[in-house]
Amino acid sequence: MMNLIFLGPPGAGKGTLAARAVDILKLPHISTGAIFRSAIAAKSPLGLKVKAIIDAGKLVDDATTIELVKERLAQDDAKKGYILDGFPRTIPQAEALAGFSKVDKVVNFDLPDSPVLERLGGRRVCRKCGFNYHALFNPPKKEGVCDACGGEVYIRDDDKPEAVQKRLEVYRDQTAPLIDFYRKKGLLVDVDASPEVDKVVGNFKIALGVRQI
């Protein structure tokens, strides 16, 4: 059994890394986004509350988030362990979590700011079919034109340099206290997320002491 928390800035590839970790460790990947979506779909009292909060464009408060995570971790598939992603985001959330689940390791997939800016700032999307490109790593054959459908390839507002910088600052402000919190408890494991994904996965396995297959 292994209860894990994944931390990492936007652009660290946490989604891909979590999918690979699920394969390796055979644990469920539990993200707050998925918890919110399934609570909304189930129309439970908490789900209806979350829907109202999200529809109003607000952030789901700590108490509601904690309650939903607690319910999710009590389900059968999470009894053999879990990979928690997007929670905790605040110290009160981390303290609440300690009250209902024992965290074994907190994996900090870190990436310096400049590669984050390069990865996210290079993101391009087709306006018509939604296909994702990258200005440096995977550009369309003809600049500004989608290979698949001929639609316009553009930069989303979220991926513009000022917006990426802002997201990164929010992440650093929010997460720095959590990193200290878990480091002091001796639970933090740092994994450099700069190299290509196979190498990061290899470093993750070594850091967790998972046998190489």
**Nearest by Cα to 190 from 213, 200, 177, 198:** 200
Q: Cβ closer to Zn ion: 128 or 166? A: 128
Distances (CA, A) of 168 to 20, 55, 160: 24, 25, 12
The 10 Å Cβ neighbour count of residue 175 is: 19
* For Zn ion, the closer CB: 98 or 148: 148
Helices (H) and strands (E) in the chain, counts: 8, 8
d(C-alpha 38, C-alpha 120), whole Å: 28
Shortest Cβ 10–Zn ion spacing (Å): 24
Looking at the Cβ atoms of 27 and 146, the one nearer to Zn ion is 146
The answer to whether residue 156 is catalytic is: yes
# binding residues, Zn ion (CB under 5 A): 8
Active site residue 123: yes
Residue 149 or 210 having the CB closest to Zn ion: 149
Distance CA 161, CA 118 (A): 9
Work out whether 8 is an interface residue with Zn ion (CB under 5 A): no
Amino acid at 142: K
In the list 22, 24, 98, 149, the residue contacting Zn ion (rule: CB under 5 A) is 149
Catalytic residue among 80, 142, 156, 166: 156
Site for Zn ion in 151-210 (CB under 5 A): 151
Residue choice 35, 120, 146, 178 for contact with Zn ion (CB under 5 A):
146
Three-class SS state of 174 = helix
By CB under 5 A, name the one of 19, 41, 63, 148 that touches Zn ion.
Answer: 148
DSSP string covering 13-30: -HHHHHHHHHHHH---EE
The CB-of-132 to Zn ion minimum distance in angstroms stands at 10
Q: Is 127 a catalytic residue?
A: no
Q: Strand 81-85 to strand 2-7: parallel, antiparallel, or no bridges (unpaired)?
A: parallel
Contact stretch for Zn ion (CB under 5 A) within 70-78, 95-103, 141-149, 195-203: 141-149
- 207's torsion region: left (phi>0), alpha (psi -120 to 50) or beta? alpha
Q: Under rule CB under 5 A, which residues in 71-130 are in contact with Zn ion?
A: 126, 128-129
Q: Which one of the listed residues 37, 51, 167, 183 is annotated catalytic?
A: 167
Catalytic residues, which ones? 14, 89, 123, 156, 167
Which residues form the interface with Zn ion (CB under 5 A)? 126, 128-129, 131, 146, 148-149, 151
